[in-house]
């Protein structure tokens, strides 16, 4: 959510930003917000004048009673009562106007960084850099679901009976490999100096509204029936919500955290839920990284964060590339974002395995997360990035380490988490 003072002083910039995101239907909101904001400021001014008048009348009442002018004092009391009635009505009107302003401000998109490429959707995202050589072996790489099933590691028939489409059972060495990747990702981030956390897996609606847009919420979140609770779609939600309404000590910044959680998503949309494999599912597990920092440090952290993910995937012997998200592909709260994509030797293309974003002070402003420095109190900046999300990362690992004899090589960094095993073989 933007600062109303910024909108007031930069309406053209706000409108131009809306156009860059191809959301022209929101242009009228800027003028409506400014119109209501003008009314609010007029009400404040009139209210201050009435309060000043009330004080004068109240002071005069005491003097009139002291001088024995009871009738005049009673008339003055009536005048004060009328002022009070006017103030109550004005304060109520001001409250209603502020609520309308906030509702509109919540859907006006954040100002994107000047470096963000302009484009309508993800088809116009821009490749930044590649890491590792994308190899296509001279033997066939089966579909990932078939590979997992071959090792008795995936059962979607049973999960269909217990939970429906979009869920899965992982078993045996495949389940162990899945957990090994998450454990390695946890330790990788701890070694980078991040504090490990396990957050709540449910959050209240005021936190949901603070960390994401309404459109995202409707498409992603599962609500707990009869309670003000939602299942998290990513641990970022809980982790940022942890600092709601707090003034963070400036000498504690940056706060660098890495969190594990299961994640739950409706995955509503044209892409749908994958029938056979585990690429797009309702439930997955993720290691996340969160940074809360001073505004001037956010872009430096943004680069560091996605570089950590690249390093981790290269340690898993998986080629990756980074993709700069264009303006039309950015969620409304984001200032800048990039995707990390892993190489699929079966499909002979890259696919998304993570995303890194800086949101400026948008989440902090919605949730009231501030810090206090030499120049006063300010809203902090928040950033988030996927360290590793699986089963997507599992798909990438299995495909890139699948051997001609049907075995799967275990990357060296995962072997300690797999009891020293160097490969998974079909028994």
- Ranked by mean pLDDT, the top range of 75-84, 124-133, 270-279 is 124-133
Nearest Cα neighbor of 45 from 92, 101, 107, 90 is 90
Strand order in 247-249's β-sheet? 247-249, 370-373, 376-379
Confidence of residue 270 (pLDDT cuts 50, 70, 90): very low
Low-confidence winner among 73-77, 150-154, 190-194, 202-206 (lowest mean pLDDT): 73-77
DSSP 316-329: TT--EEEEEPPGGG
3 state DSSP class of 376: strand
Low-confidence winner among 215-219, 356-360, 412-416, 419-423 (lowest mean pLDDT): 215-219
The alpha-helical segments, DSSP class H, found in 322-415 are: 362-367, 392-400
pLDDT in tens, 85-96: 889 999 999 999
pLDDT in tens, 321-367: 999 999 999 999 999 999 999 999 999 999 999 999 999 999 999 99
**CB-CB contact of 320 with 340 (8 Å):** yes
How far apart are the C-alpha atoms of 280 and 392, rounded to whole Å?
Answer: 8
What sign for the dihedral angle of Cα 261, 262, 265, 271? positive
How far, in Å, are 9, 70, 167, 264 from residue 159 at the CA level? Answer: 55, 84, 6, 15
Nearest Cα neighbor of 27 from 36, 10, 41, 14 is 14
**Which pLDDT score, from 0 to 100, does residue 271 have?**
55
CB neighbourhood size of 75 (10 A): 14
Q: Residue 309 pLDDT more than 60?
A: yes
- Section 212-219 average pLDDT: 75
Considering the chain, tell me which residue range(s) the CATH 3.30.930.10 domain(s) occupy: 122-424
pTM for the model: 0.90
Confidence of residue 277 (pLDDT cuts 50, 70, 90): confident
- Section 130-154 average pLDDT: 95
Share of the chain above pLDDT 90, in %: 83
**CB-CB contact of 168 with 156 (8 Å):** yes
Give 23's DSSP letter: -
Confidence of residue 63 (pLDDT cuts 50, 70, 90): confident
Query: Which H or E run contains 126?
Result: strand 126-131
Q: Residue holding tokens 């996927």?
A: 386
CB environment 10-41: b (16+ within 10 A), e (fewer): beeebbebbebbebeebeebbeebeebbeebe
Task: Tell me the CATH number for domain 122-424.
Answer: 3.30.930.10
How far, in Å, are 35, 61, 66, 316 from residue 73 at the CA level? Answer: 41, 5, 10, 85
How far apart are the C-alpha atoms of 187 and 180, rounded to whole Å?
Answer: 11
Residue of 200 and 56 predicted with greater confidence? 200
The alpha-helical segments, DSSP class H, found in 67-155 are: 70-105, 144-150
Residue of 56 and 325 predicted with greater confidence? 325
**CB-CB contact of 329 with 339 (8 Å):** no
Cis preceding linkage at 254, omega within 30? yes
Please give the mean pLDDT across all residues of the chain.
Answer: 93
How far, in Å, are 98, 240, 370 from residue 203 at the CA level? Answer: 26, 11, 21
**CB-CB contact of 90 with 47 (8 Å):** yes
Considering the chain, tell me which residue range(s) the CATH 1.10.287.40 domain(s) occupy: 4-105
pLDDT in tens, 184-199: 999 999 999 999 999 9
How far apart are the C-alpha atoms of 35 and 135, rounded to whole Å?
Answer: 58
**Which pLDDT score, from 0 to 100, does residue 387 have?**
98
Q: Interior CA angle at 318 toward 304 and 281, to 5°?
A: 90
For 381, the token pair is: 């900046």
3 state DSSP class of 293: strand
Confidence of residue 57 (pLDDT cuts 50, 70, 90): confident
Give 192's DSSP letter: T
**Which pLDDT score, from 0 to 100, does residue 276 have?**
75
Low-confidence winner among 99-113, 191-205, 209-223, 410-424 (lowest mean pLDDT): 209-223
How far apart are the C-alpha atoms of 46 and 294, rounded to whole Å?
Answer: 38
**Which pLDDT score, from 0 to 100, does residue 204 have?**
94
Q: Residue 272 pLDDT more than 60?
A: no
Q: Residue holding tokens 């239907």?
A: 25
Helix-helix angle 298-315:172-191, to 10 degrees = 140
Q: Residue 427 pLDDT more than 70?
A: no
What sign for the dihedral angle of Cα 4, 5, 8, 12? negative
The architecture of the domain spanning 4-105 is: Orthogonal Bundle (1.10)
Q: Residue 269 pLDDT more than 70?
A: no
DSSP 360-374: TTHHHHHHT-EEEET
How far apart are the C-alpha atoms of 385 and 315, rounded to whole Å?
Answer: 18
For 220, the token pair is: 């992603």
Residue of 30 and 75 predicted with greater confidence? 30
Confidence of residue 81 (pLDDT cuts 50, 70, 90): confident
Compute the chain's Rg from CA coordinates. 28
**CB-CB contact of 382 with 365 (8 Å):** no
């Amino acid at each position: 959510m933007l600062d109303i003072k910024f909108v007031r002083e930069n309406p053209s910039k706000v409108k131009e930003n809306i156009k860059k995101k191809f959301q022209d239907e929101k242009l009228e909101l800027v003028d409506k917000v400014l119109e209501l904001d003008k009314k609010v400021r007029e009400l404040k001014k009139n209210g201050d004048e009435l309060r000043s008048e009330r004080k004068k009348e109240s002071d005069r009442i005491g003097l009139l009673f002291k001088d024995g002018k009871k009738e005049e004092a009673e008339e003055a009391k009536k005048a004060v009562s009328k002022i009070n009635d006017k103030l109550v009505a004005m304060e109520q009107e001001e409250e209603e106007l502020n609520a309308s302003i906030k509702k509109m401000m919540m859907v006006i998109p954040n100002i994107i960084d000047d470096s963000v490429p302009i484009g309508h959707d993800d088809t116009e995202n821009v490749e930044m850099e590649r890491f590792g050589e994308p190899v296509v072996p001279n033997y066939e790489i089966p579909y990932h679901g078939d590979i997992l099933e071959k090792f008795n590691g995936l059962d979607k028939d049973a999960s269909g009976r217990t939970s429906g489409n979009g869920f899965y059972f992982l078993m045996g060495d495949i389940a162990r490999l899945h957990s090994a990747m998450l454990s390695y990702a946890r330790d990788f981030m701890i070694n980078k100096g991040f504090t490990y956390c396990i957050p709540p897996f449910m959050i209240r609606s005021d936190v949901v509204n603070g960390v994401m847009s309404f459109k995202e919420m409707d498409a992603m979140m599962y609500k707990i029936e009869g309670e003000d609770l939602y299942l998290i779609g990513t641990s970022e939600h809980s982790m940022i919500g942890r600092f709601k309404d707090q003034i963070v000590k400036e000498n504690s910044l940056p706060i660098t955290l890495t969190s594990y959680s299961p994640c739950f998503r409706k995955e509503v949309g044209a892409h749908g839920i994958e029938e056979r494999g585990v690429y797009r599912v309702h439930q997955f597990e993720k290691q996340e990284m969160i940074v809360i920092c001073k505004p001037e440090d956010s872009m430096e952290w943004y680069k560091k964060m996605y570089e950590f993910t690249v390093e981790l995937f290269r340690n898993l012997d998986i080629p990756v590339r980074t993709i700069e998200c264009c303006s039309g592909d950015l969620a409304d709260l984001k200032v800048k974002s990039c995707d990390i994509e892993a190489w699929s030797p079966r499909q002979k293309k890259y696919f998304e395995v993570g995303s890194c974003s800086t949101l400026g002070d948008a989440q902090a402003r919605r949730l009231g997360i501030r810090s206090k420095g030499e120049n006063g109190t300010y809203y902090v900046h928040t950033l988030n990035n996927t360290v590793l999300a699986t089963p997507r990362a599992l798909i990438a690992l299995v495909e890139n380490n699948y051997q001609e004899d049907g075995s799967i090589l275990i990357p060296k960094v995962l072997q300690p988490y797999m009891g020293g095993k160097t490969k998974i073989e079909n028994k």
